[in-house]
Amino acid sequence: MKVVFCWSDISGYMAACWRALSLTPGVTVKVIAYAPKLDANTPFDAQKTMAGIDYRLLTPQERIDANLIQQLVRAEQADAIVVSGWFNPAYIALSRDAHLARSRFIVGIDTPFRGDLRQRLAPFALRKYLSRADALVVAGERAWQYAIRLGVAKDNIYRGIYAVDFAAFSRSADMRAIAAWPRRFLFTGRYENAKALDVLVEAYKRYRNSITDSWPLTCCGRGELASLLKGVDGIEDRGFVQPADQQQLLAEHGAFLLPSRYDPWPLVLVEACAAGLPIVCSEACGSAVELVRPMFNGFRVPTENAARFADAMTWLHRHYNELPAMGARSRSFAAAHDAKVWARYWSEVILPGH
């Protein structure tokens, strides 16, 4: 079985998935994805991130070149083609290529159902494209609900488009267990409106004002809203952290925060759970459906509610002795999203078309 993934941006978690699938006996993997932009808010080191994977990165000009992409995919003579969503017309064109008609065609989505006009019209706009799909693989429950409303047959919908290197992130929990549980919060993500950095800063200020011995907050990322972090007492901005350095970073912190306004299925929550951290996130975080249970391993708070977010931070602070147990529960949830499990599921269930 040879499978070609036509993807958008590379990431540490997808690289872990592709690498695990590449190691599966009888499966050959090729990845076609976007080359990182030099000014991007997620400037991954492509060579390190994609080590051990057969890949071809597309320049900004190449990613819209349908003819080039068709030639690249045809050359692989793949048994299966996996396309990420329907954001790139050049990728969509693969579904109409007669030379690829015998290849199993798989579409992956993480988009949650929101019920707006655009989504209600999507079944009509995407009908021809999705009719070519032998399988639609979704990120979680919210994306599954959207897939149903797109008119895709339930028998052709599978869960599990993403996973993480669980063993690597578990090392963070092992490292943390050596010393006292860290009294420090962590946020990682793009410094953009969707991640609600303004809500995070407001929540942290409220928390800090309510606690005399407040914990510091580390923020890791890049983006246009970085200025919101400057000069705020207790907040440290470490900038973008490469995947290889994230295990040490997670080991140095005691709880993870993600107040996003819109976040279809954030893998950073899976990584933080795998690293054994309690979680505070907004209801907008799609992966929280699968990963976060109130007072069991964290809190899901109303989106854009800084006061409630601060309350959750305060609760974790005041129940410090419970954090190791909460972190252990987070790991149990994340274990289901291990890249090795993902690779077995894909090779045995999704790709052969059983």
Can you give the residue ranges of every domain in the chain?
2-163+338-350, 166-336
Q: Does domain 166-336 have CATH number 1.20.1560.10?
A: no
Q: Which two tokens stand for residue 324?
A: 């190791």
pLDDT of res. 42: 67
Which are the contacts of 182, defined by CB distance < 8 A and separation ≥ 6?
A: 176, 252, 253, 254
- Count Cβ atoms within 10 A of the Cβ of residue 241 and give its class: 0-12 exposed, 13-18 middle, 19 or more buried: middle
Q: Average pLDDT for residues 233-252, to the nearest whole number?
A: 93
Contact present, 111 and 286 (Cβ < 8 Å): no
pLDDT-based confidence at 162, cuts 50/70/90?
very high
Q: Does domain 2-163+338-350 have CATH number 3.40.1010.10?
A: no
Decide: helix, strand or coil at residue 329. helix
pLDDT-based confidence at 242, cuts 50/70/90?
confident
Q: For 56-60, 230-234, 238-242, 328-332, which range has the lowest pLDDT when averaged over its residues? A: 238-242
Q: What are 323-336's pLDDT values in tens digits? A: 999 999 999 999 99
pLDDT-based confidence at 85, cuts 50/70/90?
very high
3-state helix, strand, coil in the chain (%, to 5): 45, 20, 35
pLDDT of res. 40: 64
**Alpha-carbon distance 83 to 88, whole Å?**
9
- Domain 166-336 in the same topology as domain 2-163+338-350: yes
- Alpha carbon 121 to chain centroid distance? 26
Q: What's the chain's average pLDDT?
A: 95
Q: What are 89-110's pLDDT values in tens digits? A: 999 999 999 999 999 999 999 9
Q: What are 21-49's pLDDT values in tens digits? A: 999 999 999 999 999 876 666 677 888 89
